[in-house]
Structure 1
């Protein structure tokens, strides 16, 4: 099916619209939670693993509900056996967890628009690792459009003015976290491609097993690091944040289902292009709602990224 055919495909439009709506509101809630100052001491939310942990629990429960009511076909004998290995699910889950935690933690060091623009590079690692790992091939046009994204991100990130050493170090740490997140996104895309091509993994099953494994990994990490105790203490002090976290997690769960539907029907690259496009609107509303100002150079970089 051609690229144009995909975009006029009703199922593709439905999936894309679901991703746009859920992750648009998801982005607003993420910035509200992570960038706000809490209490008299002006505390900042720094519990990235805990936030992803709650997401994964809600995602898992939502996947159970979806699989129970929408994919159960045992009566007519058409339910296919899931041949995806636990190793593949666990590997994809590790990539997903590291990508999400790194992305959330980067917000402690960079602005939300910077994080969104950097994450818009996701098609790049997806393509690179797809070529190296799954031997996929892409057209010259797609390589050109990805090059536009690279130039746009470089334009957005480049800052000729020297700032303080502390601010520079913080920004550098944020960039490293975003680079790690993007690398894991690339490997995650490759693993999901294998699930789609070799095992014909269904969206509901992919969502359930990836989030179930992710929940186990995160629970172990939270106990070992002691972050779970700190997170519980934080929400006890600022209980009003619980409602924002629950909304955030519900948007994640519904949005993730649309993502898995897109991946299993149209592939990871198409999915990454949809998620990249919706990020333009997230950046725009971040500027309008939260006062994140952009320079003329950064707006040019933004235009190049989303043109790509």
Structure 2
């Protein structure tokens, strides 16, 4: 019979390897996802150098794939497909999520992937605003300081590029401003989406795949409607039919944090101002996490008192 300590060690080792697998899978997926985003939206296809312009089509393909997978998970786990929350609340998340993703794809026409990736750190401010409005949360002054420093670092990174961007859409300062405006829209809608999702999880006994399924089904219908109304559905299908490599990229994008990989792969140089901005952003986030850990740690006197009063520690 195995000793309890051995069994505990085996369980701990399995959890460690499971965590390593999960983190590695997330990181690899995010790297591929980010690179594919930039490739599809910023690089030409075919001998005629045609650019893919239908960002809402990417949203539709992504959501229809996700809804299919989430439905399969719910059926395989024998969990109910019935909506837990009112359907209009799923639709509200869908609308904000579609706006989020569309702004994200469109912004890649005007700002590079490294800029967009680092700018995502500035989501702290809209999340704090939506958290105050929707969840009635209260934040400390230190949280606002960190949010300000992160935004400052992101602003420096965006406003001081190393050179002229090669994007075919970025032909003037007004387009750069438009790209930044799209990023602001992306951050604002994304902050609302994550906050309202959290509210649904706390307000209802909701399984994650249930929310994903109904949210993505609504997103499929909404994005398909948008494509039809804009007259972009058939042109997008025709484009991917003429360019099989674009079709493969979209499939990979739909079935699936890297700034540096994009910098190396797509030759995005970083100016010294951008390096300063990056240092400010990640330094501020590190400082926040370090301070949070330090404040949660009890003082030495309490630790000593806890050890002395603990019945486990009293056993020889």
C-alpha separation in 2, matches of 1:28 and 1:211: 23
1:293 paired to 2:300? no
Question: Is the 8 Å Cα contact of residues 235 and 242 (structure 1) preserved in structure 2?
Answer: yes
What corresponds to 2:97 in structure 1? 96
Match of 1:183 among 177, 182, 188: 188
Match of 2:229 among 224, 233, 254: 224
Question: 1:134: Cα distance to partner?
Answer: 1.1
C-alpha separation in 2, matches of 1:112 and 1:222: 25
1:207 paired to 2:212? yes
C-alpha separation in 2, matches of 1:160 and 1:16: 31
What corresponds to 1:34 in structure 2? 41
C-alpha separation in 1, matches of 2:163 and 2:140: 40
SS at match of 1:57: helix
Question: Is the 8 Å Cα contact of residues 130 and 189 (structure 1) preserved in structure 2?
Answer: no
1:240 paired to 2:245? yes
Match of 1:57 among 39, 46, 64: 64
Greater relative CO (CA pairs within 8 A, separation 6+): 1
Question: 1:293: Cα distance to partner?
Answer: 1.1
What corresponds to 1:24 in structure 2? 31
What per-residue deviation string (whole Å, max 9, x for no partner) do you get for residues 90-116 of structure 1?
A: 001000000000110111112121222
C-alpha separation in 1, matches of 2:141 and 2:20: 25
Question: 1:244: Cα distance to partner?
Answer: 1.5
C-alpha separation in 2, matches of 1:238 and 1:208: 30
Question: Is the 8 Å Cα contact of residues 48 and 104 (structure 1) preserved in structure 2?
Answer: yes
Match of 1:304 among 260, 265, 280: 280
Question: Is the 8 Å Cα contact of residues 41 and 51 (structure 2) preserved in structure 1?
Answer: yes
When Rg is computed on C-alpha atoms for both structures, the one with the higher figure is: 2
Question: Is the 8 Å Cα contact of residues 58 and 250 (structure 2) preserved in structure 1?
Answer: yes
What corresponds to 2:86 in structure 1? 85
Q: Comparing 118-127 with 172-181, which one deviates more in the overlay? A: 118-127
1:170 paired to 2:145? no
1:44 paired to 2:57? no
Which runs of no fewer than 5 residues in structure 1 stay unpaired?
Answer: 1-8, 74-78, 252-278
Q: Comparing 115-124 with 240-249, which one deviates more in the overlay? A: 115-124
CA RMSD for the aligned pairs?
2.6
C-alpha separation in 2, matches of 1:160 and 1:114: 9
> How many pairs are equivalent?
265
TM-score by length of 1: 0.78
Question: Is the 8 Å Cα contact of residues 74 and 210 (structure 2) preserved in structure 1?
Answer: yes
Question: 1:39: Cα distance to partner?
Answer: 2.2
Question: Is the 8 Å Cα contact of residues 263 and 269 (structure 2) preserved in structure 1?
Answer: yes
1:109 paired to 2:110? yes
What per-residue deviation string (whole Å, max 9, x for no partner) do you get for residues 149-205 of structure 1?
A: 111112112249998994201111111111111111121122112111101321101
What per-residue deviation string (whole Å, max 9, x for no partner) do you get for residues 230-254 of structure 1?
A: 1011112111221111111111xxx
Within 5 Å, give how 1:262-281 maps onto structure 2: 279=257
Question: Is the 8 Å Cα contact of residues 92 and 210 (structure 1) preserved in structure 2?
Answer: yes
